[in-house]
Amino acid sequence: MKPIVVLGSGLAGYTLVRELRKLDGDIPITLVTKDSGDYYSKPTLSNAFAQNKEPGSLVLTPAKTMAEQQKFILLANTEVRAIHRAEKKLDTTACVIEYEKLVLAMGADPIRIPLQGDAANEVLSVNDLSDYARFRERLKDAESVAIMGGGLIGCEFANDLAHAGYKVSVIDPGPYPIAGLLPEEAGRQLLEPLQNIGVSWHFGKAAQRVDRSGQSFQLTLTDQTVISADVVLSAVGLRPRIQLAKDAGLSVNRGISVDERLQTSDEAIFALGDCAEINGQTMPYVLPIMHAARALSKTLGGSDAKAVFPYMPVVVKTPAHPIAVLPVPRDAPGSWKILEQGPGIKMGFFNPQDEMVGFALTGEYAKERNEMTARCAAKT
Amino acid sequence: MKVWQCVVCGFIYNEVEGLPSEGIAPGTAWADIPENWVCPDCGVAKSDFEMVEI
């Protein structure tokens, strides 16, 4: 019997394998990954520093143990060159593999904004464990870090590094922190608590140049402000990895296009996690991946299932001022209202029927996450 | 008393310490944590993931 082949060993790939094994102990599975295949939790990369975690200690389960426990064939350090859909074969750097069903769980690449200057290629991104190891190495002799991007990941890194004693500058062309998810009043709550632990904010401008200056770097911003930093980190967002799917002629948009069954335009091929776009939406967080993986495991196991997503709040790991948000789509009709304000802020997003369909909780209010999620769920 | 780890995010629950910030008293066994409890770090529900004993 030809195996189910999973491409990718991140949360998406491994959650799927785990769920599939729960349903079926015998179905052959092959996992192909371009890294080592060690299982680690990606969300911890942006808050591992304060806990003084060495990269190796972030590995929850080594690849070999995963393969033994979950009974799959592991092809680590292997890249896929092409998908030959007609023959249901993969051309990889190790060998040619036949598949019965193929699951694309390849994740996303960090977006790199074009920069000028002689140190533009010294800017780091942290998107996997080996990036994190490189980042840790650079931080050893550093005192200051400039972070390009004041979104969720940028703010988590800012909190983590400032807490560890680094002088942190955050640069973002937007108007306030985490503007992609939070309403302005909620995002602004982060300003002071992070400033108090050593973060300086530079909103409304972008980095233009990065130049070497002795042992450190000099960033020139669009308004000609100059910031010096020993390490420059880019955290401006992720772009789904779609090239392989595109080259194979699968339907792609921003991500690999799939329906609620996670099926691509080829019925033997599925996509899951950060590389997928489910009915037009990318869902790059932990909870949607868990739900989608569970549905897909059923479909692959033979009983057809659609991914159903409940209300899934996102927790921002900024201990200086905790945040929980149930985001709403950018074009959702309705408006944000302030419900309470005290140590932090509690806001709800109300649709035209005056039903709460989203929320933003900061500071002390972040604890009310479960209760607020239940309130949103109760109205339907 | 045991120590458990969330398979999704690596969050550690130590039964000895409990989670006073989430209203779980020190000494609470994993089995006695309510089913509607969610991982404080990644938000995955108790019923949705496995904590592994470490």
What's the pLDDT tens digit per position in B24-51?
A: 899 999 889 888 787 877 767 776 656 6
Please report the pLDDT score of residue A47 as a whole number.
81
Q: Is the pLDDT of residue A44 over 90?
A: no
Q: Is the pLDDT of residue A380 over 60?
A: no
Taking CA–CA distances from A14, the nearest residue in chain B reads: B8
DSSP class of B48: G
Does residue B47 belong to the interface with chain A, where contact is any CB pair within 8 Å?
A: no
What pTM did the predictor assign? Answer: 0.90
Q: Is the pLDDT of residue A201 over 80?
A: yes
**Mean pLDDT over all residues of chain A?**
94
- How many Cα atoms within 13 Å fall on the side-chain side of residue A271? 31
Taking CA–CA distances from B48, the nearest residue in chain A reads: A290
Which of A7-21, A173-187, A229-243, A310-324 bottoms out in mean pLDDT, i.e. has the lowest?
Answer: A310-324
Helix (H) or strand (E) holding B12: strand B12-14
| Shared fold status for A112-234 and A322-377 | no
Report which of A112, A120, A136 is spatially closest to residue A46, judged by C-alpha positions: A136
Which band of pLDDT confidence, cut at 50, 70 and 90, is reported for residue A348?
A: very high
User: Six-digit token pair at A364?
Assistant: 């002390």
Q: A279, A259 in Cβ contact below 8 A?
A: yes
Which letter, b or e, does each residue of A217-227 get, where b requires 16 or more Cβ atoms within 10 Å of its Cβ? bbbbbeeeeeb
User: Six-digit token pair at A20?
Assistant: 């599939």
Of B8, B36, B41, the CB nearest to A290: B8
At the top level of CATH, the class of A112-234 is alpha beta
| Three-class SS state of B49 | coil
Q: CA torsion angle for A63, A275, B10, A64 (degrees, to 10)?
A: 0
Question: Beta-carbon neighbour count of residue A321 at 10 Å?
Answer: 23
Instruction: State how beta strands A80-84 and A89-92 pair.
Output: antiparallel
Give ∠ CA A150-A151-A156 in degrees, rounded to 5. Answer: 85
Residues 6 or more apart whose CB falls under 8 angstroms from that of A295 comprise A260, A261, A262, A305, A306, A307, A308
Please report the pLDDT score of residue B6 as a whole number.
80
The burial class, CB within 10 Å (0-12 / 13-18 / 19+), for A337 is middle
Please report the pLDDT score of residue B54 as a whole number.
65
Question: Beta-carbon neighbour count of residue B46 at 10 Å?
Answer: 16
Q: A186, A363 in Cβ contact below 8 A?
A: no
Q: Is the pLDDT of residue A122 over 70?
A: yes
Q: In this prediction, what percent of chain A has a pLDDT beyond 70? A: 99
Task: List chain A residues with CB under 8 Å of B41.
Answer: 43, 315, 317
Residue A62 φ then ψ, to 5°: -65, 155
Q: A10, A238 in Cβ contact below 8 A?
A: no
**What's the gap between Cα A291 and its chain centre?**
16
User: Six-digit token pair at B26?
Assistant: 């020190």
Q: A5, A269 in Cβ contact below 8 A?
A: no
Confirm whether the ipTM is greater than 0.90: no
Q: A288, A165 in Cβ contact below 8 A?
A: no
Q: Is the pLDDT of residue A332 over 70?
A: yes
Task: List chain B residues with CB under 8 Å of A11.
Answer: 8
Task: List chain B residues with CB under 8 Å of A18.
Answer: 7
Helices marked H in chain A — which ranges? 11-23, 63-70, 129-139, 152-163, 184-187, 191-196, 243-247, 286-300, 369-378
Please report the pLDDT score of residue A58 as a whole number.
85
Residues 6 or more apart whose CB falls under 8 angstroms from that of B27 comprise B1, B15, B16, B18
Residues A148-157 have pLDDT tens digits of 999 999 999 9
Q: What does the pLDDT average to over A104-118? A: 96
User: Six-digit token pair at A343?
Assistant: 């140590």
Tell me which fold the domain A322-377 belongs to.
Answer: Enolase-like; domain 1 (3.30.390)
Q: In this prediction, what percent of chain A has a pLDDT beyond 90? A: 85
CA–CA distance, A327 with A180 (Å, rounded to integer): 9
Q: Is the pLDDT of residue A142 over 70?
A: yes
What are the residue ranges spanned by the domains of chain A?
4-109+238-300, 112-234, 322-377
Measured in angstroms, the CA of B22 and the nearest CA of chain A are apart by 8
Residues A288-303 have pLDDT tens digits of 998 899 999 999 998 9
* Chain A to chain B Cβ contacts (< 8 Å): 40
Of A18, A290, A317, the CB nearest to B44: A290
At the top level of CATH, the class of A4-109+238-300 is alpha beta
Question: Cα separations (Å) of A320 from A317, A323, A370, B40?
Answer: 9, 10, 20, 15
Q: What does the pLDDT average to over A50-56? A: 75
Cβ pair A312:B43 closer than 8 A:
yes
